[in-house]
């Protein structure tokens, strides 16, 4: 099992009529997202949820860490939500049956 440490699992998912490649988040990344979720839930700042959405995408979408806040602001919110849900399902964080 030791030889699998650091192995990255990816798959392509639809996004805005195209495809992007997402990767399964590691345990530490999942814990980071859970911590950010708690903070965003408690925050009175209306942009906290958007920041959380951006962070999930930056962590899990290949090459998304290069996107600026302005880049994120140019995408439709529904598309970002769908992408985030796909990421969370793939990483085992939602009620979806897709954990592969």
pLDDT tens for each residue of 22-52: 999 999 999 999 998 898 888 888 788 899 9
State CA 8 to chain mean position distance.
15
Distance CA 24, CA 85 (A): 12
- What pLDDT score does 98 carry? 44
Higher pLDDT, 98 or 64: 64
In angstroms, how far is the first alpha carbon of the chain from the final one? 18
> What is the pLDDT at residue 100?
46
pTM above 0.95, yes or no: no
Residue 50, H or E segment = helix 48-60
Q: How do residues 49-84 score in pLDDT, each as one tens digit?
A: 899 999 999 999 999 999 999 999 999 999 999 999
pLDDT, position 99: 43
CA–CA dist 100, 91 (Å, integer)? 8
């Amino acid at each position: 099992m030791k030889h699998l440490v650091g192995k990255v699992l990816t798959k392509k998912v639809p996004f805005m009529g195209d495809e992007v490649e997402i990767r399964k988040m590691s345990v530490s990344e999942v814990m980071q997202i859970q911590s950010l979720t708690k903070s965003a839930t408690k925050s009175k700042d209306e942009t906290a949820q958007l920041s959380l959405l951006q962070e999930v995408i930056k962590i899990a979408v290949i090459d998304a860490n290069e996107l600026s806040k302005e880049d994120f602001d140019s995408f439709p919110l529904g598309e970002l939500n769908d992408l985030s849900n796909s990421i969370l399902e793939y990483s085992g964080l939602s009620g979806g049956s897709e954990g592969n």
